[in-house]
Structure 1
Amino acid sequence: MQADSKPLTKADFEALARFRFGIRRYLRFSEQTVRGHGLTPQQYQLLLALKGFPGREWATMSEVAERLQLRHHSAGELVNRAQSQGLVQRLPHPEDARSVRVELTEDGQDALARLSSLHRDELRRMEEALALPHWSEPS
């Protein structure tokens, strides 16, 4: 990826810094909120990835690993921990006997609904801070 040859202005740096600060504030909110409800941030991300998977509400282990940007064995360990807490379950894949699908349990659905509502409300409050920067035109 090649950088734009035009130098960044002071306003560009301020916009980047404001956006980065907004992202970090949101992530901190998320981490604290999720932990306060007895889950790890990774478990919340897993639940959200499953519910938000395009076209269905389950994923294979490979898809979980890809969505969460984890190695396959790390995704497996995360699913194991979430399964032991009753948040997800493994079921036979409907078309591939070599694979399993991971989906939310009712408890997982409930936890995700509560946490996602809080996240949505926080994102609404932070809308301006998380808006993509508008780049100034160099003179």
Structure 2
Amino acid sequence: MTTKAREDSLSPGDYEALANLRFALRKFTEFSNAEVSNLGLTPQQHQALLAIKGLPPEKEMTVGMLADRLLIAPHSATELVDRLADAGYIERVSSKVDGRRQIVRLMDKTERILAKLSGAHLHEIREMAPELMEALRVLQDRRKLEKIAWMA
């Protein structure tokens, strides 16, 4: 389907659902930024720390992996890791498997900060869940209707 065909098939309900979803995401982002700022972190620092914490226990976070997770350039991830290490939030250690690779680990104080932030974030998401789910449901239902119409 071409972009033009997709544009022609948008209904007023699609625009409303997209606007509602964007608004809900924006509210969550504003909430998150305020919470993070209150603890002296930037949103990007919080995202980096959460990415490190969210990695499965059997894996080790490298600077390259962090760049991928944050959708930033490797040199930007290196600078971010340097700032986080200087502030005492993380430590860099050499990989036991490949000494050339740098592994990034959270410090104990960072674990406590993340627990506090994540608890607040989960509470906010749970409060917003009905709004988010409704916007997504409307968008998903529209897609199902388009598929049914196409198959007919």
Give the corresponding residue for 2:23: 21
Any stretches of 5+ residues in structure 2 without a counterpart?
Answer: none
The amino acid across from 1:94 in the alignment is: K
Distance change (3 Å), C-alpha of 1:95 and 1:117: same
CA shift, 1:92, in A, is: 1.2
CA contact (8 A) 1:51 1:58 kept: no
Q: Calculate percent identity across the aligned residue pairs.
A: 38
CA contact (8 A) 1:51 1:57 kept: no
TM-score under structure 1 length normalisation:
0.90
Any stretches of 5+ residues in structure 1 without a counterpart?
Answer: none
1:98-137 equivalent positions in 2, closer than 5 A: 98-131=100-133, 132-135=136-139, 136=142, 137=145
For residues 19 and 123 of structure 1, what CA distance do their matches in structure 2 show?
13
Distance change (3 Å), C-alpha of 1:57 and 1:108: farther
Give the corresponding residue for 1:46: 48
Distance change (3 Å), C-alpha of 1:62 and 1:102: same
Between the two structures, name the one with larger relative contact order (CA 8 Å, sep ≥ 6). 1
Q: How big is the alpha-carbon RMSD for the aligned residues of Structure 1 and Structure 2? A: 2.0
TM-score under structure 2 length normalisation:
0.83
Identify, as 1 or 2, the structure richer in helix: 2
Give the corresponding residue for 2:33: 31
CA shift, 1:111, in A, is: 0.9
1:39-118 equivalent positions in 2, closer than 5 A: 39-56=41-58, 58-118=60-120
CA shift, 1:108, in A, is: 1.1
CA shift, 1:134, in A, is: 2.1
Which range moved further: 102-111 or 46-55? 46-55
SS of structure 2 residue aligned to 1:130: helix
CA shift, 1:2, in A, is: 5.5
CA contact (8 A) 1:60 1:99 kept: yes
For residues 14 and 63 of structure 1, what CA distance do their matches in structure 2 show?
37
Aligned length: 139
